[in-house]
Structure 1
Amino acid sequence: MFLTKRIVILLVGILFVLSINGAMVSASSNNYLPYENTEAGRNSNAYLPTSNPSRGDRENFINEISGYAKEASAKWGIPASAIIGMAAVESGYGTTRIAVNANNIFGIKIWGTNPSQGWQLKGQPDEDNGTVTVLSDFGVDRVIYDEAQRVDNWYRMFSSRQEAVDYLAGTFLQNQRYGFAKTNYASNLKKGWSSERASKQYIYEIANAGYNHLGGESYRNVVGQVMAEWNLYEHDENTFKDIHGHWAQKEIEFLMEKGWIDGYPDGTFKPNASLTRAHAAKILSNFLGLTHTIEPIHFKDVPSSFWGHDSVILVAQHKLMNGTGSDQFSPNKNMTRAQMAQVFYNAGFYSQSAENHMSSFTDVHNGHWAHIAIETIRQEGIMAGYGDGRFGVNDSISRAQLAAVMYRLDQKGWNQN
Structure 2
Amino acid sequence: MIKLIRVLLLILLSLLVLNSGPLTSSANSVNPLPYEDEKSGKNSNAYLSTYEFLSTKMKEDFINEIYTYAMRANEKWGIPASAIIGMAILESGYGTTRIAENANNLFGIKVWGYNPKNAWQLKGQPDEDYEPVPVLIDYGKDRKIYDESKRRDNWYRAFTSYKEAVNYLAGNLLLNERYRFAKTNYEERRKKGWSYERASKEYLFDIANAGYIHLGGEYYRNKVGSIMDEYDLYQYDDRKLKDIEGHWAEEQILFLTEKGWISGYPDGTYKPNHSITRAQAAAIISNFLALTSTNKNIYFSDVVKSFWASESILLVAQHKIINGIGNERFSPNTFLTRAQMAQIFYNAGFYSQTVNNRVNSFKDVEQNFWAFFAIETMKQEGIMAGYNASRFGPNNPTTRAQMAAMIYRIHEKGLNK
Q: TM-score under structure 1 normalisation?
A: 0.50
Q: Higher Cα Rg: structure 1 or 2? A: 1
